[in-house]
Amino acid sequence: MADVKQFCTFYLDKLLFGVEVGKVQEVIRYQEMTPVPLAPPVVSGLINLRGQIVTALDLRRRLEFKERDSDTLPMNVVVRTGEEAVSLLVDEIGEVLDVEDDIFEAPPETLQGLARELIRGVYKIKERLLLVLDTEAVVTIDGGNAQ
């Protein structure tokens, strides 16, 4: 019997991504953001999460996808790594999926660069592929970007 893992999934540019459920604090709809001038472009801004100030990262920019349409509002997937909570801005929220280890595969050699660092692997579920993100790597931005 293979191990089963649970993933919180969401869509980015029609691709299905997932983050381990244990790392997700909550999922909420679009929140007003306060932009932070001079911060790296990946940082969309700060949101007020029940009194807690949480940094919001635009996942499209993080994965170097093209920009979201200005009329679609992103959703927030708030992940918790170590001490800090960070919100990832995604297009749409998907379901919580149970997947078995035996359908997991490492990313192909042809996937290079930034994406390779951030994507841990792929679950070959029915009809589509679930791309698993390395949550720690996603929220860690090289400090050199900031001014």
Partner 1 sequence: MDDVLKDFLVESNENLDRMDRHLVELEKYPSKETLDNIFRAVHTIKGTCGFLGYSKLESVAHVAESLMSRLRDGALRVNQPITDALLATVDVVREMLASIEAIGGEGERDDSALIETLHALQSGDTTSPRSPSPAAPAATPSRSAMPLERMSIKELETLLEVRAKGVGEPAATPKLGELLVQMGETTAEQVNQALAEQAKGDPRRIGEILVQQGAVRPDALLAMIQSQGEAKGVVSDSTVRVDVAILDKLMNLVGELVLSRNQIMQFAASQEDSTFLATSQHLNLVTAELQEGVMKTRMQPIANVWNKFPRVVRDLAAACKKQVRLEMEGAETELDRTIIEAIKDPLTHVIRNSVDHGIEMPEARTGAGKPAEGVVLMRAYHEGSQVNIEIIDDGGGVNPEKVRDKALQKGLITAAQSARMSEREMVNLIFLPGFSTAEKVTHVSGRGVGMDVVKTNIEKIGGSVDVNSKFGQGTTLKVKIPLTLAIIPALMVTSSGKRYAIPQGSLLELVRLGDKAGKAVEMVHDAPVYRLRGNLLPLVYLNRELKLGESTDSAGKVNLVVLQADGRQFGLVVDAINDSKDIVVKPLGKHFKGLSAFSGATILGDGTVALILDVVGLAQKANVVSEARGRTQVSAGNVSLDGAGQRQTLLICRYGLDEWVAIDLSSVARLEQFPLTAIEKSGGHAVVQYRGQIMPLIHLSNVLGGAHGEETKSTLNVVVYRDRGKSVGLVVAQIADIVEERVEVKSEHHGGYFSGAAVVHGKVTDILDVRGVIESVDPSYLAQEQAA
Rule CB under 8 A: which residues touch partner 1?
Answer: 32-40, 43, 45-48, 51-53, 55, 57, 84, 86, 141, 143-147
Given a contact cutoff of 8 angstroms between Cβ atoms, the answer to whether 76 and 63 are in contact is no
- For tokens 């191990």, the residue is 3
Of the pair 35, 121, the CB lying nearest partner 1 is at 35
Minimum distance from residue 61 beta carbon to partner 1 (Å) = 13
Minimum distance from residue 19 beta carbon to partner 1 (Å) = 18
Minimum distance from residue 58 beta carbon to partner 1 (Å) = 12
Distance CA 145, CA 40 (A): 6
Token digits for 109? Answer: 């050699």
Of the pair 45, 74, the CB lying nearest partner 1 is at 45
Q: What is the DSSP string of 57-103?
A: EEHHHHTT-PPPPTTSPPEEEEEEETTEEEEEEESEEEEEEEEEGGG
Minimum distance from residue 29 beta carbon to partner 1 (Å) = 15
Of the pair 53, 73, the CB lying nearest partner 1 is at 53
Residue 84: which of 35, 44, 136 has the closest Cα?
136
Of the pair 34, 72, the CB lying nearest partner 1 is at 34
